[in-house]
């Protein structure tokens, strides 16, 4: 027995060391696991002995084992909840399906944790009842054209209802409005008829405008042609007047030159014959030649003198 006792003492001693080492390792692991790191976009709600203790922000925190417990970890990012289509009835008794999207964020982690059992489920139910109340005051046409009104009223109502839960509703959007099939068919026919009416009006207005432009073009063309004829006649008249003026000026110059040259009776006689020759080139069939051609020359000389006096 003494020998057995001497053998067991070292064994028991080594076993005690192992137990101590294991216990120490477990304690170290528990202490290490009690440190919690909270990131920028999260909040941690901590309970102590079953009651709310504190809310951890960014940083490293120590959770007392057994005494403290993490009740919830809340994300501070804006969240999006897409709800299923809800059947609603309009003021004129039309049943349609409307689905909405809610954008919200958590502003009070404690109120969010202890305010309601299922916040997202509560938001969905409030959204459905609010949507039915709003659509019940609108007829079909108003529902289809009043998305902004619906969004604003829903956001206001949801924000007020969810404020005790630490939730801030930032925006509500009507994602889709789906009327019954027969109403969609009638709306499609109405839109097709409206498009055809607009097309007919545009074609008629185009033809009217084309005719107006064509008539205006023809009127301007007539005016331009008349103005061109007028200008042509004016130019022709000015040309004829200029020609007559030049002719008379040449005749006056010729008489002056004859007088300045002191032409004798023979020259005057030759000029008279030349004048007779020009007369002969005309349309007359008979020419009467005066018996005294000298007298004719004298008449030409007298005419030259008269022209000279007038020129002075």
Give me 138's structure tokens: 């609108």
pLDDT of 117:
84
Give, for 175, the enclosing helix (H) or strand (E).
strand 167-178
Rounded CA separation 92/135 (Å)? 10
Mean pLDDT per 10-residue run, the chain (312 residues)?
Answer: 49 65 80 83 90 89 86 90 86 86 92 87 89 88 85 90 91 85 73 81 86 86 85 83 78 68 56 55 50 51 50 50
Domains recognised in the chain with CATH numbers: 15-74 (no CATH), 79-179 (3.30.479.30), 263-312 (no CATH)
How big is the chain by its Cα radius of gyration, in Å?
60
Residue 162: burial class (beta carbons within 10 Å; 0-12, 13-18, 19+): buried
Rounded CA separation 135/153 (Å)? 11
Q: How far is CA 143 from the centre of its chain?
A: 26
Q: Do strands 79-82 and 167-178 pair parallel, antiparallel, or not at all (unpaired)? A: unpaired
pLDDT of 265:
55
Judge contact between 208 and 131, C-beta under 8 A: no
pLDDT of 254:
67
Judge contact between 112 and 165, C-beta under 8 A: yes
What are residue 5's phi and psi, to 5 degrees? -65, -40
pLDDT of 284:
47
Does pTM top 0.85 for this prediction?
A: no
Rounded CA separation 143/136 (Å)? 10
pLDDT of 104:
92
């Amino acid at each position: 027995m003494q020998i057995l006792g001497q053998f067991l003492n070292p064994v028991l001693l080594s076993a005690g060391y192992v137990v101590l080492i294991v216990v120490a390792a477990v304690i170290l692991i528990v202490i290490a696991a009690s440190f919690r790191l909270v990131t920028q976009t999260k909040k941690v709600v901590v309970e102590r002995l079953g009651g709310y203790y504190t809310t951890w922000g960014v940083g490293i925190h120590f959770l007392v084992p057994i005494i403290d417990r993490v009740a919830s970890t809340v994300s501070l990012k804006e969240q999006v909840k897409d709800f299923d289509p809800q059947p609603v009835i309009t003021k004129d008794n039309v049943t349609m399906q409307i689905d909405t999207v809610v954008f919200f964020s958590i502003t009070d982690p404690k109120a969010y944790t202890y305010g309601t059992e299922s916040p997202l489920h509560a938001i969905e139910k409030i959204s459905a009842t609010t949507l039915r109340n709003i659509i019940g005051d609108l007829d079909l046409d108003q529902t289809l054209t009043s998305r902004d009104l619906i969004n604003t009223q829903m956001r206001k109502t949801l924000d007020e209802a969810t404020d005790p839960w630490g939730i801030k509703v930032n925006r509500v959007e009507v994602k889709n409005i789906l009327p019954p099939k027969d109403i969609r068919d009638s709306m499609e026919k109405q839109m097709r008829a409206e498009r055809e009416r607009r097309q007919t009006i545009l074609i008629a207005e185009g033809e009217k405008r084309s005719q107006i432009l064509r008539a205006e073009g023809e009127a301007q063309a007539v005016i331009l042609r008349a103005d061109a004829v007028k200008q042509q006649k004016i130019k022709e008249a000015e040309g004829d007047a200029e020609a007559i003026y030049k002719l008379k000026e040449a005749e006056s110059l010729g008489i002056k030159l004859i007088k300045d040259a002191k032409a004798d009776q023979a020259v005057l006689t030759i000029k008279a014959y030349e004048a007779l020759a020009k007369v002969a080139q005309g349309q007359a069939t008979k020419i009467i030649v005066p018996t005294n051609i000298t007298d004719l020359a004298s008449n030409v000389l007298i005419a030259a003198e008269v022209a000279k006096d007038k020129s002075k």
